[in-house]
Amino acid sequence: MNQERVHTASPDFIAQANIKPDDYRRMYRESIENPDAFWTNVAKRLDWYRFPTDIRDVSYRPDDLHVRWYQDGRINASVNCLDRHLAARGDKTAIIWEGDDPSKSERISYRDLHARVCRLANALRNLGVKKGDFVVIYLPMIPEAAVAMLACARIGAPHCVVFGGFSPDSLGTRIADCSPKVIITADEGLRGGRPVALKANVDKALQRPDTHTVETVVVVRHTGNPVNMQSPRDRWYDTLVEGQPAVCEPEVMDAEDPLFILHTSGSTGKPKGVLHTTGGYLVHTSFTHEVIFDLKEDDVYWCTADVGWVTGHSYIVYGPLANGATTVIFEGVPNYPDFSRFWQVVDKHQVTIFYTAPTAIRALMREGEAPVAKTSRASLRLLGSVGEPINPEAWEWYHRVVGEGRCPIVDTWWQTENGGILISAIPGAIPQKPGSATLPFFGVEPAIVDNEGKVLEGVAEGNLVILSSWPGQFRTVYGDPKRYKDYFTTYPGTYFSGDGCRRDADGYYWITGRVDDVINVSGHRMGTAEVESALVAHPRVAEAAVVGFPHDIKGQGIYAYVTLNAGEQPSEELRRELVAWVRKEIGPIATPDHLQWAAAMPKTRSGKIMRRILRKIAENAPEQLGDTTTLADPSVVQTLVNERLVR
């Protein structure tokens, strides 16, 4: 190992760690050599109505594709996150809520959380929600978000959480995809002091004909500002749960019954509803949460993600609560009221484990060390990173400035489809190299294949695939089995992640980013096709092509090339209008950073846009354009190069 760039946890950390250096290789070997025995043992961490004996039933063959774990087991996720903790941990804090407004926070015990979940679950049943019915959740980062997810889990109603930053149209598409009877939302969200019009967005989404299945909109009173309430459809959350019993008989679920769907972006088409089931998902998220975050009974654990993303599902709600941990739900943003906010919250609640995204670290790093240094952070003992590759400079800053050299960093690689972490350091057991997600978690068999699908051994670079299954793996793309199959047919017999990856001489994995038309903007995953279809929906746009480009803070930025309809003239005003249009169509996270006019696109003779060329222009690397002779009209390229917006 190249010693300069390796960080090993301190002897003190290792002495108290759940998994010791010698344990990792032994446990990994066991998990691969005898997966059924290994995962039977792990499943004992949960409470089952019927303990499973059929551990794994998996085939990646396209003609017989199926992934099933613990299929004869019976279980309820909310019981595992709540009821089973009541005897020993009833008064322990389950959720610490920290508001966007620093003067607002709340601690909710396991007993109280259980009661709140039961009241809402009863209310949902009264509204006619039955096992198997979808519920859409469109909430800010408030305790009701976790309460709503667990209430759905209690009655066997799969939830579909939609990120509160999405537009009415993005919300409408997701509603149309799963036909819920009920939506749970709030009057408004609050971020950085600014209100987010959630209820008004729901009203707009429900004007679409394809969202007619919604019978009831449950509205949490959050900011208290007036909103339009339409009777009898719209019901206030507080009056609905008032008077409901604080106990609720849980639905006994099969391990393979759906727990939720969550939409994520692919390289083409509309977002995919990734479906996760109950038993395997909960085993995987709770186990990884305990092992990778070295969880102890008195930890205060904070993951800064939003519950609208998979990280929030697995590592704010299900993993931590299944483990009886104290989990922080933070409504705000890192720079409000100022750039010390994260660390003030750490001090206020004595956070011990902190898990965030590289984009936040880079944004804070730009502000210098002073906003960090004026806080104590003495409570912190472990740091985590997720969502995108972390550049070594940001890693070192996180380690040296935030963690004062004392806290190991776990760089956790995984995806919405994976349910939980697949590649990560285990802090006391695996030395860390800045920028590498390090080694596979137990049971996970990554491989690197070339473009022909040949598995490369040893030091290698190529496409990251996973050879076998893990319990938290997704089971289908809701309503679209063909798109599910696509994951297993690119490199037959494997799950293809869509990521590029390098493996070094120590067997460490270095994720290099997406190799498909998916981009990762501030840790938010987006299909370039989605941004393109928003642009071409504008009446003056003829054609659009969108690519990612390297961005100092966001990791990747959005670079759009736009061809206008014949007769239309480009102008600054129209440029601004189109940028605003995309914001409105998808949401602020999809705002293009650059929009370049393209009189024509570089196309092959068969009419396909050559994105490789557009990517190189956006990267300001025109010297790397490569072969352009296959283009229908090579002169198009020179114009685009001359007019490029990044130099």
CB of 521 to ligand PRX, least distance (A): 11
Strand, coil or helix: 511 = strand
Residue 344 or residue 418: which is nearer to ligand PRX going by CB? 418
CB of 589 vs ligand PRX, minimal distance in Å = 11
**162 is annotated as contributing to ligand binding:** no
Rounded CA separation 165/170 (Å) = 10
If the CB atoms of residues 190 and 316 are measured against ligand PRX, the closer one turns out to be 316
Taking the complex as a whole, how short is the minimal distance between the CB of residue 494 and ligand PRX, in angstroms? 15
Rounded Cα gap, residues 368 and 335, in angstroms: 13
Work out how close the CB of 314 gets to ligand PRX at its nearest, in angstroms, rounded to a whole number: 8
| Residue 344 tokens, joined | 């003030």
Closest approach of ligand PRX to the CB of residue 92, in Å: 27
CB of 417 to ligand PRX, least distance (A): 7
**Residue located via tokens 């390090």:** 438
Q: How many CB atoms lie within 10 A of CB 127?
A: 16
**Residue 511 or residue 564: which is nearer to ligand PRX going by CB?**
511
Compare residues 264 and 278 and give the one whose CB is closer to ligand PRX.
Answer: 264
Q: 147: how many CB neighbours lie within 10 A of its CB?
A: 27
Binding site annotation covers 606? Answer: no
Compute the CA torsion angle 286, 288, 291, 297 (nearest 10 deg): -30
The minimum distance between CB 127 and ligand PRX, in angstroms, equals 31
Q: 469 vs 596, which CB is nearer to ligand PRX?
A: 469
Structural element, H or E, at residue 143? helix 143-155
- Cα 563 from Cα 540, distance rounded (Å): 9
Report the nearest approach of ligand PRX to the CB of residue 385 (Å): 6
Tell me the backbone φ, ψ of residue 226, rounded to 5 degrees: -65, 140
Residue 477 assigned to a binding site: no
Phi, psi of 48, rounded to the nearest 5 degrees: -115, 150
How far is it, in rounded angstroms, from Cα 29 to Cα 23? 10
Instruction: State the Cα–Cα distance between residues 340 and 76, nearest whole angstrom.
Output: 40
Q: Is 414 annotated as a binding residue?
A: yes
Q: Does the annotation flag 238 for ligand binding?
A: no
**Is there a binding annotation on residue 125?**
no
User: Of the two residues 288 and 311, which places its CB atom closer to ligand PRX in the complex?
Assistant: 311
Cα separation, 13 vs 610, whole angstroms:
51
Q: CA torsion, points 487, 439, 519, 618, in degrees to nearest 10?
A: -130
Contact 524, 263 (CB under 8 A): no
191 marked as part of a ligand binding site: yes
304 annotated ligand binder? no
Smallest separation, CB 34 to ligand PRX (Å): 28
- Residue nearer to ligand PRX on the CB measure, 76 or 264: 264
- What is the residue whose two structure tokens read 């590029």? 500
Phi, then psi, of 276 in degrees rounded to 5 = -115, 145
Asked if 119 contacts 245 with a C-beta cutoff of 8 angstroms, the reply is: yes
DSSP tag of 434 = T
Q: Nearer Cβ to ligand PRX, position 76 or 285?
A: 285
Nearer to ligand PRX, 386 or 640 (CB): 386
Q: Which two tokens stand for residue 319?
A: 């993993």
Total number of residues shown for the chain: 647
Kindly state the smallest distance separating residue 437's Cβ from ligand PRX, in Å: 5
Q: Is 193 annotated as a binding residue?
A: yes
Give whichever of 39 and 487 is closer to ligand PRX, judged by the CB atom.
487
Virtual CA dihedral for 399, 403, 404, 405, nearest 10 degrees? -50
Whether residue 583 is annotated as binding a ligand: the answer is yes
- Least CB distance from residue 430 to ligand PRX, whole Å? 14
Largest CA distance in the chain: 74
Q: In the bound complex, what is the minimum distance in angstroms from residue 578's beta carbon to ligand PRX?
A: 26
CB 6 within 8 A of CB 431: yes
Residue 79 or 382: the one with the smaller Cβ distance to ligand PRX is: 382
Q: How far is CA 447 from the centre of its chain?
A: 23
Comparison of 133 and 499: residue with beta carbon closer to ligand PRX: 499
Asked if 639 and 597 touch (Cβ cutoff 8 Å), the reply is no
Determine contact, residues 17/425, Cβ cutoff 8 Å: no
Of residues 153 and 274, the one with the C-beta less far from ligand PRX = 274
Query: Could you tell me the smallest distance in angstroms from the CB atom of residue 590 to ligand PRX?
Result: 14
Are the CB atoms for 187 and 198 separated by under 8 Å?
A: yes
3-state secondary structure 28-66: HHHHHHCHHHHHHHHHCCCCCCECCCCCEEEECCHHHCE
Q: What are the percentages of helix, strand and coil residues in the chain, rounded to 5?
A: 35, 25, 40
Is 68 within any annotated ligand binding site?
Answer: no
* Residue 514 marked in a binding site: yes
Q: Say if residue 413 carries a ligand binding annotation.
A: yes
The answer to whether 117 is annotated as binding is: no
Positions that interact with ligand PRX (CB under 6 A) = 264, 309-311, 386-389, 411-416, 437, 497-499, 511, 513-514, 520, 525
Any binding-site annotation on 389?
A: yes
Q: Is 482 left (phi over 0), alpha (psi -120 to 50) or beta?
A: alpha
Q: Known binder of ligand: residue 269?
A: no
Residue 411 annotated as binding site? yes
3-state secondary structure 156-205: CCCEEECCCCCCHHHHHHHHHHHCCCEEEEECCEEECCEEECHHHHHHHH
Binding-site residues sit at 191-194, 311, 335, 387-389, 411-416, 499, 514, 522, 525, 536, 538, 541, 583
Annotated binding site for ATP: 387-389, 411-416, 499, 514, 525
Q: Which residues are annotated as a binding site for Mg(2+)?
A: 536, 538, 541
- In the annotated binding site for CoA, the residues are 191-194, 311, 335, 522, 583
